[in-house]
């Protein structure tokens, strides 16, 4: 019965996502966006080069605009756009093919592959479900506390697996609890808060570690390709990001509770349903325990050895995948089924885009244009980065948004005189704070498919949450990153 309901839920999710794609970008308009995107590249090829910009830089700006149009409108799969980015650079004479494909083979790509394999093993053996249910038992007494438990549990799991996987896990669990409490979809505020807590908890939690979102290793991959390279360890990432997570979680939870006052006083039925599911899980099985040990070992190695010259993040990540195969916890068919290879292609293409923008000088030229508009005040530049990153990631893939903004942000940092690490961290973290629109993240779309809230409900809560997160990030950057850690120093 559980497998059948899960399959049915997957069908609902896919159908709703396809419907939303058709609503926002119908098939006929797809041709328009593709023609527009390639026309931008054509213009970059035929127009005279402005003063201060190289010919290669102008072509890279054309490719950047093409990528932005295709990533926002999605007339073709995101990964195909990334392949276009890679192949157009040697075709147009921007960079040699060997250099383009070498940047695709960045070590951060292999970190991401290993992390996805680890997440696949966690999902296969249901370890994430066991952790989630056990965690929810601590918050089962009161409705408001229960919604906080949902957000916290989602954020915690997003530390060790991709956020969309966490959202897909929690949807059937929370849906069964809501059914047990007999709440009415779209009418019950308890139902709205419960589902939005999943979406927002996953988004906020994905900031915490390098594993939560593909945009995180994308940032460190581009930083590692700079000259001189900037290497960020697993522990350093957590040191920078965790204050934002710990401040944003309770504040966004308060926003949800003020926006949708919970009408339920008694959730004893929910408590019974959680206990029933916990008991149904039974004792931890052998392979489940092995996966847990490998997960803890991997996290320990990431924290201790991620800055090692030879044994870094990528090597540890691949090692964990190999251990899972050796222990029999996962097979290659499991990997083929569960690892989103399209994300790997999207990610690799995004790195080549960032390297091309940086090496051709296009980023520096764009930075000069930005200075002419907003000036070179450090705090104004920081605020503009935060706002623009959050707004852009609302309307397109967060990996695509970060890929577009990172090379520009790095160039802005160099022009302003502060470290590219500061601008890269701002853009990467803000790329995960998409709360307003259903299309903003896979987690938002998955939760919307449940039918418990409307797009208007998400927008109402999302606008206030976004404003609060803009203020949180700005304060953390100014008072913690700059004031305490001196992250702006080159």
Select from 424, 432, 400, 430 the least CA-distant residue to 68: 400
Look at residue 308 in the predicted model and tell me its pLDDT.
65
Q: Is residue 409 situated within a structural domain?
A: yes
Query: Burial letters for 110-127: b for 16+ Cβ neighbours within 10 Å, e otherwise?
Result: bbbbbbbbbbbbbbbbbb
Q: Is residue 95 situated within a structural domain?
A: yes
Res. 354: pLDDT tops 70? yes
Q: How large is the average pLDDT for residues 32-44?
A: 92
Q: Which tops the pLDDT comparison, 41 or 351?
A: 41
Look at residue 220 in the predicted model and tell me its pLDDT.
87
Q: Is residue 322 situated within a structural domain?
A: no
Q: Left (φ > 0), alpha (ψ -120 to 50) or beta: where does 486 sit?
A: left
Res. 3: pLDDT tops 90? no
Look at residue 13 in the predicted model and tell me its pLDDT.
41
Three-state SS string across the chain, please? CHHHHHHHHHHHHHHHHHHHHHHHCCHHHHHHHHHHHHHHHHHHHHCCCCCCCCHHHHHHHHHHHHHHHHHHHCCCCHHHHHHHHHHHHHHCCCCCHHHHHHHHCCHHHHHHHHHHHHHHHHHHCCHHHHHHHHHHHHHCCCHHHHHHHHHHHHHHHHCCCCHHHHHHHHHHHHHHHHHHCCCCCCCCHHHHHHHHHHHHHHHHHCCCCCCCCCHHHHHHHHHHCCCCCCCCCHHHHHHHHHHHHHHHHHHHHHHHHHHCCCCCCCCHHHHHHHHHHHHHHCCCCHHHHHHHHHHHHHHHHHHHHCECCCCEHHHHHHHHHHHHHHCCCCCHHHHHHHCCHHHHHHHHHHHHHHHHHHHCCHHHHHHHHHHHHHCCCHHHHHHHHHHHHHHHHHHCCHHHHHHHHHHHHHHHHHHHCCCHHHHHHHHHHHCCCCCCCCCCCHHHHHHHCCCCCCHHHHHHHHHHHHHHHHHHHHHHHHHHHHCCCCCCCC
Res. 21: pLDDT tops 70? no
Domain span at residue 371 reads 2-104+126-284+340-482
Q: Is residue 144 situated within a structural domain?
A: yes
Mean of pLDDT over the chain: 84
Res. 155: pLDDT tops 70? yes
| Measured CA distances, 353 to 9, 68, 142, 192 (Å) | 36, 11, 49, 39
pTM of the predicted model as reported, rounded to 2 decimal places = 0.80
Q: Is residue 317 situated within a structural domain?
A: no
pLDDT in tens, 368-386: 777 777 777 888 889 999 9
* pLDDT classification of 252: cutoffs 50, 70, 90: very high
Q: How many structural domains comprise the chain?
A: 1
Q: Is residue 333 situated within a structural domain?
A: no
Q: Is residue 136 situated within a structural domain?
A: yes
Res. 201: pLDDT tops 70? yes
Q: Is residue 323 situated within a structural domain?
A: no
């Amino acid at each position: 019965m559980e497998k059948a309901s899960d399959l049915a839920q997957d069908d609902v999710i896919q159908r709703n996502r396809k419907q939303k794609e058709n609503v926002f970008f119908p098939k006929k308009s797809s041709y328009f966006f593709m023609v527009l995107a390639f026309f931008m590249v054509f213009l970059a090829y035929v127009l005279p080069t402005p003063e201060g910009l190289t010919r290669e830089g102008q072509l890279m700006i054309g490719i950047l605009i093409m990528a932005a149009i295709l990533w926002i409108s999605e007339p073709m799969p995101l990964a195909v756009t990334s392949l276009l980015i890679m192949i157009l650079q040697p075709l147009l004479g921007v960079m040699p093919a060997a250099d383009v494909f070498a940047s695709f083979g960045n070590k951060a790509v292999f970190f991401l592959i290993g992390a996805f394999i680890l997440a696949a093993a966690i999902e296969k053996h249901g370890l994430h479900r066991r952790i989630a249910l056990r965690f929810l038992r601590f918050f089962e007494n009161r409705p408001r506390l229960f919604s906080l438990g949902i957000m916290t549990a989602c954020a915690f799991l997003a530390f060790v697996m991709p956020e969309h996987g966490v959202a897909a896990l929690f949807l059937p669990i929370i849906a069964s609890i809501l059914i047990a409490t007999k709440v009415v979809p779209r009418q019950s505020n308890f139902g709205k808060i419960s589902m939005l807590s999943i979406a927002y908890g996953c988004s906020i939690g994905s900031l915490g570690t390098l594993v939560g979102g593909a945009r995180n290793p994308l940032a460190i991959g581009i930083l590692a390709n700079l000259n001189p390279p900037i290497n960020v360890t697993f522990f350093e990432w957590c040191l920078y990001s965790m204050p934002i997570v710990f401040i944003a979680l309770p504040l966004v939870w308060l926003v949800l509770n003020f926006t949708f006052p919970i009408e339920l006083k008694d959730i004893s039925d929910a408590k019974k349903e959680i206990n029933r599911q916990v008991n149904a899980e039974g004792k931890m099985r052998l392979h489940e325990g092995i996966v847990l040990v490998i997960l803890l070992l991997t996290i320990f190695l990431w924290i201790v050895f991620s800055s090692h010259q030879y044994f870094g993040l990528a090597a540890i990540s691949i090692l964990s995948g190999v251990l899972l195969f050796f222990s029999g916890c996962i097979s290659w068919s499991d990997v083929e089924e569960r690892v989103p290879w399209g994300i790997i292609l999207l990610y690799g293409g995004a790195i080549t885009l960032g390297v091309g923008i940086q090496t051709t000088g296009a980023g520096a030229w764009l930075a000069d244009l930005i200075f002419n508009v907003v000036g070179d005040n450090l705090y104004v530049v920081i605020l503009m980065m935060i706002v623009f990153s959050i707004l852009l990631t609302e309307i397109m893939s967060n990996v695509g948004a970060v890929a577009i903004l990172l090379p520009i942000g790095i160039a802005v940092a160099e022009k302003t005189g502060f470290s590219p690490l500061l601008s890269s961290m701002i853009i990467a973290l803000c790329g995960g704070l998409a709360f307003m629109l259903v299309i903003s993240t896979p987690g938002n779309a998955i939760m919307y498919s449940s039918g418990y809230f409307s797009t208007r409900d998400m927008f109402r809560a999302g606008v206030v949450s976004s404003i609060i997160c803009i203020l949180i990030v700005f304060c953390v950057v100014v008072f913690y990153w700059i004031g305490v850690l001196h992250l702006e120093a080159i």
